[in-house]
Amino acid sequence: MENCTVVSEFILLGIPNTKGLETILFVTFLSFYLCTLLGNLLIFSAILAEPRLHTPMYFFLCNLSILDLGFSSISTPKFLANLWAKNRTISLGGCMSQVFFYHFLGSTECLLFTVMAYDRYVAICHPLRYLLIMNWRVCTLLAAGTWITSSFHATILTSLTFTLPYCGSNVVDYFFCDIFPVIKLACADTYIIETVTFTNTGMVPTTCFLLILASYVRIAASVVRMRSAEEGLKAISTCASHLTVVCFFFGPCALLYTQLSLSKVLATPIQIFCDVVTPMLNPVVYTLRNKEVKAAFRRMKGGRGKLQVTMQSSSAEVTMMESQNRKRAPAWTEREVRDLIAVWGEESVLSELRSSFRNAKTFLKISQGMKDRGHNRDPKQCRVKLKELRQAYQKTREANGRSGSEPQTCRFYDELHAILGGSATTTPAVLFDSFNGDGGNTEVGFGDEEDDDEEVVDSSQQASGETGFPDSQELFLTLDLEPVPPEPTQGCLLDSAGGEGTSGLHVFQ
């Protein structure tokens, strides 16, 4: 032991049975790697650039893109360099880095999929409390926890691997450094590292898989109890992308770590699929099934879309547009109001309304959100309607706050309460504005315009006395002054895949 030579580098044999195919392998791996970089960088950039995507789901998707960028860069660049330069050596430090980052990023991705499953569970099973439960503090803690926990996991495995003495052959029979190919070269007992590795790499994925399975069992039970097939399909749609990438991740892991006698002919392609193909497929899966991400991509190319054009238009053009819309503004339909509430409830919109008193740009964004959902409403119309809804909600809460009064409700009370007052309850006992922490009468985010020109009404409609949707007075006075129903199990479904929210509670006759 004293006279043994310390290994300072290793030789990677590469993919078995591929002699003479170096050029094909180089082109194939380079293509996959460039597609992975492009896809994940595009998703990362789109989420950062688009305020509408600043929500919990896309925050976790941003983390996943970073993980895929790192995971694909662990072994692929070195493998490409070896193919190009015909040099298969890797330094001891390089080998240690590959072992550490492979288990660090792999474990982080496994934990992140579990957190994303929990996010889907809250969105579908507790939609009215979604923004309260998955607030930014909770999301940050969950994401940070996945990275920190995995760093400890990877540090332990890497330390145990490279504290072993390596004094014999330095030829690694694989295309990158992993624990088991490397410890075969150790000239000491490897029982401890093998036991710890099997325990850790077995416990982490198994525990995560069981938690994901439990989340989807609860989601499935909620979908079965939904009142309409449309709501069920929307719920399934929000989970489809996540389920797909979970299968991509856990399927190969199950084969690699449960079938230890798997031959190299099968094990190596499975490993390549995990390391090279999956990081490229993840952004494809989320892009193809997600309307909001695709809309963000459209805005990124060619002028960055209609929102930027609208914000760069002159004030005279905006005034003219609003004047024209005031002349022919149709009554608000139920679907329009529900979509307006859904846009209003987006975290990025609420954050801007809370942080700024002058918020004309925020209402431009709300107007653009309505246009994305197929409605032609200008910022002034959106502001007035939101103020009407807010006043109707506050009047209902004030009425319920009076002692001895019969519980009352108004249209969209649950949806409005999820935004203005927290989770849906029967009779709010305290008038509290969750945005500001003060009285419920505080008007947040609606004070940047004059109040003497708020009504946007269809002139012909006004003359005839017809209305397609009640204003704030009707919302309070004629809207079902009845006992408030108990909290529904399925309120409004947050469609994180880019669709509108739906509601299981219908108050229209």
Assigned domain for 238 exists: yes
Domain that holds residue 16: 10-298
pLDDT value at residue 424: 39
Counting beta carbons within 10 angstroms of the beta carbon of residue 16, is it exposed (0 to 12), middle (13 to 18) or buried (19 or more)?
Answer: middle
> Would you say residue 20 has pLDDT above 50?
yes
Sorting pLDDT into bands at 50, 70 and 90, what band is 329? low
Residue at which a domain ends, from 275, 298, 321: 298
Tell me the C-alpha distance between 293 and 306, whole Å.
Answer: 15
pLDDT tens string 278-320? 899 888 888 776 777 877 778 777 544 444 444 444 444 445 5
Q: Are residues 131 and 254 in the same domain?
A: yes
Assess whether pLDDT exceeds 70 at residue 257: no
Q: Provide the pLDDT for residue 407.
A: 76
pLDDT for 115:
95
Is the same domain home to 219 and 92? yes
Helix pair angle (22-49, 291-300), 10° resolution:
90
Point out the domain boundary residue: 298, 323, 354.
298
Residue 304 resides in a domain: no
The strand pair at 502-503 and 492-493 is best described as antiparallel
Sequence-distant (≥ 6) Cβ neighbours of residue 500 within 8 angstroms: 338, 339, 342, 373
Task: Tell me whether strands 171-172 and 492-493 are parallel, antiparallel or unpaired.
Answer: unpaired
Per-residue model confidence (pLDDT) at position 478: 34
Residue 201 counted as domain residue: yes
* Higher pLDDT among residues 157 and 266, named by residue: 157
Where does residue 103 rank: exposed (0-12), middle (13-18), buried (19+ CB within 10 A)? buried
At residue 263 the predicted structure's pLDDT band, cuts being 50, 70 and 90, is low
Whether the pLDDT of residue 121 is over 60: the answer is yes
Q: Check whether 116 has a pLDDT greater than 80.
A: yes
pTM of the model: 0.61
Tell me, what's the pLDDT at 1? 42
pLDDT at position 168 over 60 = yes
Q: How far apart are CA 320 and CA 326, in angstroms?
A: 10
pLDDT at 200 over 70: yes
Please check whether residue 4 lies inside any domain of the structure.
Answer: no
Residues 364 and 391 in one domain: yes
For the chain, the average pLDDT equals: 75
3 in a structural domain: no
Percentage of the chain modeled with pLDDT above 90: 19
Do both 168 and 48 map to the same domain? yes
How many structural domains does the chain have?
2
Q: Which of 51-55, 139-143, 395-399, 499-503 has the highest mean pLDDT?
A: 139-143
pLDDT at 223 over 70: yes
- Determine, yes or no, domain membership for 256: yes
Share of the chain above pLDDT 70, in %: 73
Residue 508: inside a domain, yes or no? no
pLDDT digits (tens, 9 = 90+) for 418-476: 888 754 333 333 333 333 333 333 344 554 444 434 333 333 333 333 333 433 333 33
pLDDT of residue 302: 56
**Element of type H or E holding 90:** strand 89-91
Arithmetic mean of pLDDT, 130-139: 90
Model confidence pLDDT, tens digit, residues 23-47: 898 999 999 999 999 999 988 988 8
User: In the prediction, which pLDDT does 148 show?
Assistant: 95
Residues 479 and 347 in one domain: yes
Residues 101-130: what's their mean pLDDT?
A: 92
Statement: residue 17 has pLDDT above 70: yes
User: Which of 106-115, 260-269, 429-438 has the highest mean predicted lDDT (pLDDT)?
Assistant: 106-115
